[in-house]
Amino acid sequence: MLVQIIGVLAAITSSVAFSTASVFIKLSLRDIRDPFLVNGIRALFASLVYVPTLAYVGVGRLNPYIFAVIVASTVIGPGIGDVLFIMGVDKLGAGLATVLSYQYILIAQILNIFILHDFRGFIALYLTPLALLGMYLAVSEGGMRANLKGIIFSYAAAFAWGISTILVSYLVNTCNLPPIEVAGLRVIVLTPLLMSIGFRNIRTITKRALVILATSGVVSYFIGFILFTTSLRMLGVMIPSLATTLTPVLSQLISSKVLSEALTPRRVTGSLLIITSLILAVLLA
């Protein structure tokens, strides 16, 4: 039970770390408009922390197969998945794009059963629809607009994130790699990919944006990635993926304070549904 509690705390804390990303990105987009450059800078500063950390703790010998899986999980998830999500937001707005894309949780849970045969926290599969309903209530206020391309982009992001989550779980559970090693190598691989695309707009960087994105990179890509990967190691895919439904809701809670965005009863109700599903998942697992 203690392992489950620690794993859940790691998953929830990682969701808190991830939830700050949208607020930091909104602030930085006032100066930098290129999403590749924004995420590239975040990954760069996280890498500056990962490199000495991994040098201190050491990195095991990686065969070409393991390294290929790390690269694939990076390109598919934070690479392709995040870009597709941004494209979905552009076509649908943040509300519907989030609701559709976060169905990656169900995709990851189902793939986890059929591919990894990991049944830890299986009850979370039944509680995920409750959490998704809570997320829908929290992020859909103000209406949604339908667009076929946006729906395709959002569901494609869901599949990309789902596959990436399974690959990371495979690395830390089946291949028995340390979570910090997997998290660090993924960000180090991600950095040049994003920076090579966003480099053309490097002159738009301001000192203000640099400080914001450096902070975001350490919080999300360093602290968030390590904690989420650790929770996958301790709990499997089911409960940690369920916990990520907190991320968009917490983002709105933070925005209500930092960006003066409204916090409504509907959003509070959605948050409570998500929290309830998490508590039940832990108690019944």
Measured CA to CA, the distance from residue 211 to residue 204 in angstroms comes to 14
The alpha-helical segments, DSSP class H, found in 58-102 are 64-74, 82-92, 94-101
Helix (H, G, I), strand (E, B) or coil at 18: helix
Beta strands in the chain (DSSP E): none
Burial environment of residue 85 by CB neighbours within 10 A (0 to 12, 13 to 18, 19 or more): buried
DSSP designation for 140:
-
Q: Which residues of the chain have pLDDT under 70?
A: 94-95, 141-145, 255-263, 285
Residue 108's pLDDT is what? Answer: 95
Q: How many CA atoms lie within 13 A of 283 on its CB side?
A: 7
pTM for the whole thing? 0.89
Region of residue 176 (left: phi > 0; alpha: psi -120 to 50; beta: else): left
Collect all residues with Cβ–Cβ distance below 8 Å to 279 and sequence separation of at least 6.
Answer: none
Written as six digits, the tokens of 219 are 């919080």
CA distance readout (Å), 225 to 12, 92, 161: 12, 27, 14
Helix (H, G, I), strand (E, B) or coil at 78: helix
The alpha carbon of 150 is separated from its chain's Cα centroid by a whole number of angstroms, namely 20
Residue 49's pLDDT is what? Answer: 97
Residue 174's pLDDT is what? Answer: 95
The phi and psi torsions of 87 (rounded to 5 degrees) equal -65, -35
Residue 94's pLDDT is what? Answer: 67
**How do residues 168-191 score in pLDDT, each as one tens digit?**
999 999 999 999 999 999 999 999
